[in-house]
Amino acid sequence: MAAIKAVNAKAEVARAQAALAINICAARGLQNVLRTNLGPKGTMKMLVSGAGDIKLTKDGNVLLHEMQIQHPTASLIAKVATAQDDVTGDGTTSNVLLIGELLKQADLYISEGLHPRIIAEGFEAAKIKALEVLEKVKVKKEMNRKILLDVARTSLQTKVHAELANVLTEAVVDSVLAIRRPGYPIDLFMVEIVEMKHKSETNTKLIRGLVLDHGARHPHMKKRVEDAFILTCNVSLEYEKTEVNSGFFYKTAEEKEELVKAERKFIDDRVQKIIDLKEKVCAEFGKEFVVINQKGIDPFSLDMLAKHGIVALRRAKRRNMERLSLACGGIAVNSLEDLTVDCLGHAGLVYEYTLGEEKFTFIEGCVNPLSVTLLVKGPNKHTLTQIKDALRDGLHAIKNAIEDGCVVPGAGAVEVAIAEALLVYKHNVKGRARLGIQAFADALLIIPKVLAQNSGCDPQETLVKVQAVHLESKQLVGIDLNKGEPMVAADAGVWDNYCVKKQLLHSCTVIATNILLVDEIMRAGMSSLRG
């Protein structure tokens, strides 16, 4: 009888075999849910929320975030998988599959009487060897555009259909290459993703500049200007109440008028400074002038600016202010005291686009933009959401490849190579720990098996063919999912991220080992002790 029962009669306890069976069952259950999603030929899942909203996705990270998982062990695995996505941006589905398969293979030996601790030791030894093999098979390359296109295509084809993946690949690679600065880490927040419910998903494109989701607020302002100076500022151009609680006292109506005029003059002086700068620089260079302000601009100020041919946008989002100075150049000013030409950025084309009741302002033709916009188009909301999730993974894949400076062959090639190396290595290990290494090698093969199964091939037959070719040629051979035949992944341009595979081997082994070593599950929290 569990000791906890003596303290708390209401405690629920599962011991030894029962506890392990519960945990393995949960891991297998989660594995079966995500199994069919893996790879470019994976199927979709439809998630329906309580309000009836539909989400179509095959991205493991989205599924695990959106699904309501009740079982504590399954919830633990889901958190580990989503943590992997937060760190590397990919590998969620593989993570869940591998943890489930490690536990399944371990269960075969445990049911024959082998102690979980021995399998855990075997797993640890196998992980160290697997990471060594991964170091050997990684391919160091100069990250030119061609390699990055292959990396992005491999990642995107697992999230969206091939035709759309090809469109997104170019846009994603060009956007990361545009914002990359030597000596600085790549900041993916400088790639803004703006969605527009319009046309079809293949119209998604890269804008080398910015797209703001609002237009100018005055009817007489130009809708399109070319070759324009851009002033980005965070200055209030509207009448505001004082910050401290104050009151104005006046004896006559004339005094009141004077007070109102004085307040108005305070704002008009600010606007005049912008107009003076415009007159000075536009007379000299013959260009147009655009003001983008983070704070408000009142109707009187808008009217003054419009009379002088200045296009003004108010209440721009804070994140866009930083992007604007990176995209167009210039400095975002917080005061209008010392305005000079150096504060101004430049754009080749600024125009307003109206779609239904929504207005968008496009700022294009920037010379060397360090911030760009991916304009996502699609006919409905769930298509837009699906593309946004795919773009996020594609951007991370390219960032990882550039930062790693190396890639590893995809299509299940790495898993087959590591499994093969582990089978050779286990003969050097003495004692029963080699059974853990055998289990680890068998578990890794779940990735190529599921890839084959999802593309409609026989998993065993395909795997045997791939292993045979790998042994003969000693090259890294993966699965051609269109034909179900072995192929050299590197020649086909199928590349995965090195850091994703490394993180995968680390996290899966740790979690599978921890779950294996649980021999008692107690539901005896404070809530049940109160009764």
Active site positions, annotated: 59, 92-93, 393
Q: Which residues of 332-346 are buried (b: 16+ CB within 10 A; e: fewer)?
A: bbeebeebeeebbbb
H-helix segments, 138-225: 145-157, 162-179
Tell me the backbone φ, ψ of residue 103, rounded to 5 degrees: -70, -35
Going 115 to 117 to 121 to 122, the CA torsion angle's sign is positive
Beta bridge partners of 82: none
3-class secondary structure, 439 = helix
Residue type present at position 515: I
Q: Report the distance separating Cα 287 and Cα 328, nearest Å.
A: 15
Q: Report the distance separating Cα 206 and Cα 372, nearest Å.
A: 7
Kindly state the tokens that stand for 386: 């699906």
Angle of CA points 466, 470, 474, to nearest 5°: 165
3-class secondary structure, 378 = strand
Q: Report the distance separating Cα 275 and Cα 438, nearest Å.
A: 76
Query: For residues 347 and 228, is the Cβ–Cβ distance under 8 A?
Result: yes
Distances (CA, A) of 73 to 29, 32, 79, 110: 11, 15, 10, 19
Contacts of 92 (CB under 8 A, 6+ apart): 59, 60, 61, 64, 81, 82, 84, 85
Beta bridge partners of 377: 196
Query: For residues 175 and 204, is the Cβ–Cβ distance under 8 A?
Result: no
Tell me the backbone φ, ψ of residue 200, rounded to 5 degrees: -110, 170
Count, in order, helices (H) and strands (E) of the chain. Answer: 19, 18
Q: Report the distance separating Cα 327 and Cα 349, nearest Å.
A: 13
Tell me the backbone φ, ψ of residue 473, rounded to 5 degrees: -90, -20
Angle of CA points 420, 506, 450, to nearest 5°: 55
Going 98 to 104 to 105 to 110, the CA torsion angle's sign is positive
Kindly state the tokens that stand for 259: 């007070």
Query: For residues 287 and 349, is the Cβ–Cβ distance under 8 A?
Result: no
Q: Report the distance separating Cα 324 and Cα 291, nearest Å.
A: 11
3-class secondary structure, 306 = helix
